[in-house]
């Protein structure tokens, strides 16, 4: 287990009252909604950022907003840290607990409460999975747009916490652009509603502030999300290039031409090889970089857009062009890309970075990334959302070798600093969590961070909500 | 007197001094939206018009950074030269508010001003990627950045958007832009009453034809658009934009479905552009009067119900944008704020903003929708964290 990233020192006053706290929580929740046996706590000790783990004090799995409010009110009263959790798929450690914390898991609140096609909204409980929404409304011709890779498992509550993106946000935006309202429990147990089926906030845009706040402003228990009519069809085209510069310039030209594809995905040679070996998608192995560009709409629209896109690729010396002629071919093109993380996991351990850079800096950052990784004696595979500059270098290492793991962490930090220095940011869609917390000063000035922390304090004066995350542990406002 | 700092440093200095003396400041841009919010306490004006100019514009990246006092017209011209646009269609309030002067981009974002495309492409706040502002302590603060995907830290960008100059003084904004569609067509369905129009618009939005504008213009306002050139009867209008070939196909498909609702006609590129600009700018109520004008945001299916209920008790004229979810209402006499807000709550919630009224009416009416106690308390705490001395536009939003 890695140990570079620190957690807050557990509050002694909480640890020493463990038995009493569990007894009190037993009064507040039905028996099936409370987990506190050491053995049963293990599944909650980490998330998808598995190099760090901490056993929580207890896990509350409420079934109603009233139960969430009761737990919050209690924890607030006694200064007990609370770590919210959806499906535990965070790649940045956003859901990793700490020894003095009660994990507040929303997995039992997993009902779709209402689908309203006249207003194109779905009202759902926070524990509903992302994919469940699209599946529930798909038969009627609608879908919910943000589609993080973990959409089979990840919950809408977690998506709101991290302001999740996905492959298709180039056209449809990320969670914050598709969220209309929430019901939310404040730190003291007060229940509020922000937004609803109408658009825009009445007062301050607290909804916009809550989205992406990584569970530090309150517990979202219900959400109203926007539904969109499903396009008639979608079709990908695959391009192979001799250099990543050519691929990068092609991306910038497609975007600049006035065509907005729904997705532009990039893979470098190591990623192509890993995915092809696993998925047999027929990817060309004689190219340095591969783009998957997807357009959607009617037949006429897709044809017109693909024609223009293929022309642009031609101007950038494209070596391989594969247009999909059927649904099977389209699925095959995507299969390799979608299995990238799984396929990489079969050959090595990896950490996935998430910096975003301006489109014009893509190839510069890719080259520098290789240099950094080389210097640490490691390997890297790049698979990412090129259309919006959201890089995902996968740094390969051996988790059984603590030195290798430490080197991977260090290389990752350098890559993220590189992204910031290139005019980008530390994280495009995975969140800060614990992973990038100590790099926040590289992106923000002291005054910038202090302002964010002050606003955070307006919601949670004592910093009991997910307290080890997002902001560097030193320099926090005194409670 | 109006202070016009011409650098971020000067602006910070002015605000720091005001904070130390407890002097109240009214923050503004071009003052074309001066009547927004509650009648404010007297205060010294600080204008962003001294901070002007395009800082960085990369058409290939679809991102623009400008100083906050830059005139919207200058930005629109620079974008048009590259066939790009602000997708959220910022409304020009001069007509309906009866104001003069030059709207600034800072004002657009401070008031989160959006137009007809908002209900599909997002509001001004959704296009805003990064800001620089001076907080109430006089500290320059940067939030967000210039990339589209960014979840690094708390999203103060959203918070400042739509805060009407009560949380900070915007000095620079970075926003996303989009290509101008190759062509635009509008499908007009004639003769539908408000309820039938709501059904037709919902049906249109359920089709995979990417409608990017859905408005309903009842008889009383219809003749005000396109110089009276819309077909007789109420007009329900649906906009389709994009590549030439695709617009033709989608418009055909939409028209075929809409014929079940009423007679269908079509408008081409130029008429469409004029029509949607007039809808955006609330042309019918740009009438030089001070009759109260409300802007109501509500669930699209509830918009016409709200107007129907209100009509039984008050003199009201209305038209609808955003599939019926944005209701523009001009009251004959009394603003009927309490009645209106009671009906909005009864219909599932939303909010009403008093945009225009005589000074006497404004003095007695909460311009923004009053918040439930817990939300109001939270908002007040947030304001205190950005503006501890309470010097920015006191009373305007609360």
pLDDT, one tens digit per residue, over A387-421 is 889 999 999 999 899 999 999 999 999 999 999 99
Which H or E element spans position A332?
Answer: helix A327-338
| Cα–Cα distance, B330 to B291 (Å, whole number) | 7
Chain B residues inside the 8 Å CB shell of A465: none
Integer Cα distance of B205 and B184 in angstroms: 17
Give the ipTM of the model, two decimals please.
0.97
Assess B368–A contact: CB distance below 8 Å, yes or no: yes
Buried b (16+ CB within 10 A) or exposed e, A20-49: ebeebbeebbeeebbbbeeeebeebbbbbb
Task: Find which of B136, B150, B326 to mutate to test the A interface (most A CBs within 10 Å of its CB).
Answer: B150
Give the integer Cα–Cα distance in Å for A7 and A9: 6
The CA-based dihedral angle spanning residues A13, A14, A16, A21, taken in that order and rounded to the nearest 10 degrees: 140
Is residue A479 scored above 80 in pLDDT? no
CB pairs under 8 A between A and B: 279
Residue from A92, A196, A199 whose CB has the most chain B CBs within 10 Å, to mutate: A199
Mean of all residue pLDDT scores within chain A: 94
- Distance set, CA B385 to CA A189, A455, B165, B379, B381 (Å): 22, 6, 15, 10, 6
Q: What is the pLDDT of residues A184-199, one digit of tens each?
A: 999 999 999 999 999 9
Query: Among A453, A457, A456, A459, which residue's Cα sits nearest to residue A186?
Result: A459
Closest residue in chain A to residue B164, using alpha carbons only = A204
CA distances from B18 to B24, B383, B389 (A): 7, 17, 9
Rounded CA separation A271/B388 (Å): 51
Report whether A332 contacts A282 (CB < 8 A): yes
Residue with tokens 């759902």: A124
Asked if residue A1 has pLDDT above 70, the reply is: no
Alpha-carbon distance of A46 to A22, in angstroms, equals 21
**Cβ neighbours, 10 Å, residue A314:** 12
**Long-range contacts from A109-113, C-beta under 8 angstroms, 24+ separation:** A109/A62, A109/A63, A109/A64, A109/A65, A109/A221, A109/A222, A110/A155, A112/A136, A113/A222
DSSP string, B216-236: EE-HHHHTTGGGGTSPSS-EE
**pLDDT over threshold 80, residue B287:** yes
Report CB contact under 8 Å: A424, B378.
no
For A376, the token pair is: 């640490």
* Minimum-distance CB partner of A190 among B155, B159, B374: B374
Contacts of B87 in chain A (CB under 8 A): none
Question: For residues A451 and B36, what is the distance between their CA atoms, to the nearest angstrom?
Answer: 27
Q: Between B151, B208, B379, which is nearest A232 by CB?
A: B208
Q: Assess whether pLDDT exceeds 70 at residue B52.
A: yes
**Cβ distance of A304 and B382 shorter than 8 Å:** no
Query: Maximum distance among all alpha carbons in chain A?
Result: 70
Q: What is the pLDDT of residues A159-170, one digit of tens each?
A: 999 999 988 888
Q: Pseudo-torsion of CA A205, A210, A216, A217, nearest 10°? A: 50
> Best interface-test mutation with A: which of B149, B207, B241 has the largest number of A CBs within 10 A?
B149
- Measure CA A365 to chain center: 21
Question: How many angstroms separate the CA atoms of A401 and A414, rounded?
Answer: 20
- Report the alpha-carbon distance of residue B255 to residue B211 in Å, rounded: 12
Where is A352: in which H helix or E strand?
strand A349-352
Strand runs labelled E in B332-379: 350-356
Contact B16, B137 (CB under 8 A): yes
Q: Does B382 touch chain A (CB under 8 A)?
A: yes
The whole-angstrom distance between A27's CA and the closest CA on chain B is: 27
- Distance, in Å, from the CA atom of A232 to the CA atom of A303, rounded to the nearest integer, reads 13
Flag if A358 and B118 touch (Cβ within 8 Å): no
Whether the predicted pLDDT of B42 surpasses 80: no
Inter-residue contact B205 to B324 (CB < 8 Å): no
* Weakest mean pLDDT among A244-258, B51-65, B336-350: A244-258
| Selection from A157, A302, A312 nearest residue A220 by Cα | A157
- Length, in residues, of chain B: 398
Contact A301 B249 (CB under 8 A): yes
Q: pLDDT band at A51, cuts 50/70/90?
A: confident
d(CA B66, CA B252): 40
Alpha carbons A85 and A72: distance in angstroms, whole number: 14
Least confident piece of the model among B110-124, B148-162, B240-254: B240-254
Find all residues with CB under 8 Å of A448, minimum gap 6, and list them. B141, B142, B143
**What angle is formed at CA A224 by the lines to CA A110 and CA A159, rounded to 5 degrees?**
65
Catalogue all structural domains in chain B, each as residue range(s) with its CATH number: 2-179 (3.30.465.10), 183-280 (3.30.70.2190), 283-364 (3.30.70.100)
Across A325-356, b (16+ Cβ under 10 Å) vs e yields: eeeebbebbbbbbbbbbebbeeebbbbbbbbb
Q: Token pair for residue B246?
A: 């695709």
Residues 6+ apart with CB under 8 A from A423: A357, A358, A361, B145, B146, B147
pLDDT at B362: 94
CB-based contact, B360 to chain A, within 8 Å: no
Identify the CA nearest to B111 among candidates B286, B290, B278, B355. B355
Nearest residue of B to residue A388 by CA position? B148
Helix (H) or strand (E) segment spanning residue B264: strand B264-267
Contact flag B151-A162 (C-beta cutoff 8 Å): yes
Contact: A163, B151; criterion CB under 8 Å: yes
Give backbone dihedrals phi and psi of A320, rounded to 5 degrees, phi first: -125, 135
What tokens does A4 get? Answer: 């570079």
pLDDT band at B218 (very low <50, low <70, confident <90, very high): very high
Q: Do residue B150 and residue A356 have CB atoms under 8 angstroms apart?
A: yes
Angle, vertex CA B325, rays to CA B322 and CA B330, nearest 5:
100
The two structure tokens encoding residue A321: 């062009």
Comparing CB atoms, the residue among B83, B122, B351 nearest residue A198 is B351
Give the E-state strand segments of A156-209 in sequence order: 179-185, 191-195
Which of B:34-93 have CB within 8 Å of A? Answer: 58-63, 83
Range with the poorest average pLDDT among A81-90, A351-360, A439-448, A465-474:
A351-360
User: Contacts of residue B250 in chain A, CB cutoff 8 Å?
Assistant: 298, 301
* Helix and strand totals (H; E) in chain B: 15, 18
pLDDT for residue B137: 97
Query: How many angstroms away from the CA of B230 is the closest CA of chain A?
Result: 27
> What is the number of alpha carbons within 13 Å of residue A236 lying toward its C-beta?
23
* Predicted confidence band of residue A115 (pLDDT cuts 50, 70, 90): very high
- Name, in order, each residue with C-beta under 8 angstroms of B155's C-beta and a sequence gap of 6 or more: A163, A176, A208, A209, A211, A212, A213, B143, B144
| Across A50-54, A134-138, B187-191, B315-319, least confident range | A50-54
> In which element (H, E) is residue A219 found?
strand A219-226
CB atoms within 10 A of CB B73: 12
**How is residue B94 written in tokens?**
């001069």
Percent of chain B predicted with pLDDT > 90: 94
Token pair belonging to B4: 């016009």
Q: How far is CA B25 from CA B16, B164, B379, in A?
A: 11, 13, 20
* Domains of chain A, earliest start first: 12-105 (3.30.43.10), 112-229 (3.30.465.10), 233-340 (3.30.70.2190), 348-437 (3.30.70.2740)
Dihedral angle over CA of B40, B44, B50, B56, nearest 10: -50
User: Does the distance separating the beta carbons of B139 and A118 come in below 8 Å?
Assistant: no
Q: Do A258 and B83 touch (CB under 8 A)?
A: yes
Mutation for B interface: A141, A168, A201, most B CBs within 10 A: A201
Asked if B379 has any chain A CB less than 8 Å from its own CB, the reply is yes
Tell if the CB–CB gap between B250 and A298 is shorter than 8 Å: yes
Is residue A158 within 8 Å of A219, Cβ to Cβ? no
| B29 pLDDT above the threshold of 90 | yes
pLDDT over 70 percentage in chain A: 100
Backbone dihedral angles phi then psi of residue A449, each to the nearest 5 degrees: -65, -40
A-chain residues near B162 (CB < 8 A): 200-201, 204-205
Q: In angstroms, rounded to a whole number, what is the distance separating the alpha carbons of residues B361 and B38?
A: 10
Torsions phi, psi for B388 (to 5 deg): -60, -35
CB contact under 8 A, B179 and A258: yes
């Amino acid at each position: 287990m890695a140990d570079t990233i620190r957690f807050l020192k557990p509050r002694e006053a909480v640890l020493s009252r463990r038995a009493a706290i569990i007894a009190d929580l037993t009064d507040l929740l039905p028996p099936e909604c409370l987990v506190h046996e050491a053995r049963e706590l293990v599944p909650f000790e980490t998330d998808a950022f598995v190099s760090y783990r901490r056993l929580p004090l207890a896990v509350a799995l409420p079934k109603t907003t009233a139960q969430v409010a009761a737990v919050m009110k209690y924890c607030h009263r006694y200064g007990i840290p609370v770590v919210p959790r959806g499906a535990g798929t965070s790649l940045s450690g956003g859901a990793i607990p700490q020894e003095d914390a009660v994990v507040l898991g929303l997995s039992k609140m997993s009902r779709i409460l209402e689908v309203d096609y006249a207003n194109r909204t779905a009202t759902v409980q926070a524990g509903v999975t992302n994919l469940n929404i699209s599946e529930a409304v798909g038969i009627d011709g609608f879908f919910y747009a943000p589609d993080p890779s973990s959409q089979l498992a990840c919950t809408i509550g977690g998506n709101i916490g991290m302001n999740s993106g996905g492959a298709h946000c180039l056209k449809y935006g990320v969670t914050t652009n598709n969220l209309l309202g929430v019901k939310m429990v404040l730190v003291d147990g007060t229940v509020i509603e922000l937004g609803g089926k109408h658009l825009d906030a009445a007062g301050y845009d607290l909804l916009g502030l809550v989205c992406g706040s990584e569970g530090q402003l309150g517990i979202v228990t219900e959400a109203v999300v926007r539904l969109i009519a499903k396009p008639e069809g979608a079709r990908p085209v695959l391009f192979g290039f001799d250099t990543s510069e050519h691929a990068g310039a092609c991306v910038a030209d497609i975007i600049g031409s006035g065509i907005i594809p729904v997705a532009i995905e990039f893979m470098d040679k190591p990623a192509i090889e890993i995915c092809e070996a696993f998925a047999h998608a027929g990817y060309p192995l004689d190219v340095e970089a591969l783009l998957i560009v997807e357009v959607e709409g009617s037949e006429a629209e897709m044809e017109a857009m693909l024609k223009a896109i293929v022309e642009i690729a031609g101007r950038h010396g494209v070596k391989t062009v594969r247009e999909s002629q059927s649904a099977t071919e389209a699925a095959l093109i995507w299969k390799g890309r979608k299995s990238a993380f799984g396929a990489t996991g079969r050959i090595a351990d990896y950490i996935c970075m998430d910096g975003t850079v301006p489109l014009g800096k893509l190839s510069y950052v890719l080259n520098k990334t290789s240099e950094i990784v080389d210097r640490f004696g490691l390997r890297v595979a790049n698979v990412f959302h090129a259309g919006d500059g959201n890089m995902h270098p996968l740094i390969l290492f051996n988790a059984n070798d603590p030195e290798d793991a430490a080197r991977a962490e260090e290389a990752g930090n350098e890559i993220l600093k590189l992204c910031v220095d290139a005019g980008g940011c530390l994280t495009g869609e995975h969140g800060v969590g614990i992973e990038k917390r100590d790099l926040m000063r590289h992106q923000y000035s002291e005054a910038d961070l202090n302002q964010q922390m002050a606003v955070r304090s307006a919601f949670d004066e004592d910093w009991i909500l997910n307290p080890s995350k997002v902001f560097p542990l030193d320099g926090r406002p005194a409670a | 007197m109006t202070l016009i700092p011409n650098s971020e440093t000067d602006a910070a200095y002015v605000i720091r001094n005001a904070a130390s003396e407890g002097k109240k400041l009214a923050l503004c841009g071009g003052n074309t939206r001066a009547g927004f919010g509650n009648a404010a306490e007297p205060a010294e004006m600080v204008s962003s018009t001294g901070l002007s100019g395009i800082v960085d514009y990369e058409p290939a990246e679809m991102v623009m950074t400008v100083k906050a006092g830059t005139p919207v017209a200058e930005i629109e011209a620079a974008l048009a030269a590259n066939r790009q646009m602000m997708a959220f269609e910022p409304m020009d309030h001069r007509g309906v508010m009866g104001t003069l002067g030059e709207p600034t981009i800072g004002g657009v974002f401070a008031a989160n001003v959006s137009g007809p495309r908002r209900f599909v492409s997002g509001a001004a706040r959704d296009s805003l990627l990064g800001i620089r502002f001076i907080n109430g302590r006089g500290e320059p603060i940067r939030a967000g950045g210039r990339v589209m995907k960014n979840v690094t830290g708390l999203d103060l960008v959203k918070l400042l958007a739509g805060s009407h100059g009560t949380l900070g003084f915007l000095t620079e904004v970075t926003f996303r832009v989009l290509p101008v569609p190759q062509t635009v067509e509008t499908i007009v369905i004639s003769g539908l009453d408000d309820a039938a129009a709501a059904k037709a618009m919902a049906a249109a939005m359920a089709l995979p034809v990417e409608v990017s504008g859905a408005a309903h213009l009842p008889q009383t306002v219809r003749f005000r658009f396109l110089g009276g050139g819309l077909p007789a009867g109420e007009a329900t209008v649906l906009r389709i934009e994009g590549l030439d070939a695709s617009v033709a196909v989608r418009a055909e498909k939409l028209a075929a479905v809409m014929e079940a609702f009423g007679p269908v006609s079509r408008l081409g590129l130029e008429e469409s552009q004029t029509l949607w600009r007039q809808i955006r700018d609330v042309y019918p109520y740009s009438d030089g009067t001070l009759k109260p004008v409300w802007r109501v945001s509500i669930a699209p299916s509830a918009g016409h119900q709200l107007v129907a209920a209100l009509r039984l008790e008050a003199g009201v004229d209305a038209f609808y944008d955003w599939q019926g979810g944005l209701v523009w209402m001009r009251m004959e006499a009394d603003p009927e704020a309490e009645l209106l807000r009671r009906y909005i709550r009864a219909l599932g919630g939303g909010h009403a903003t008093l945009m225009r009224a005589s000074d006497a009416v404004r003095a007695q009416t909460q311009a923004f929708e009053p918040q439930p106690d817990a939300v109001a308390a939270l908002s007040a705490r947030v304001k205190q964290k950005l503006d501890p001395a309470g010097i920015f536009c006191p009373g305007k939003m609360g």
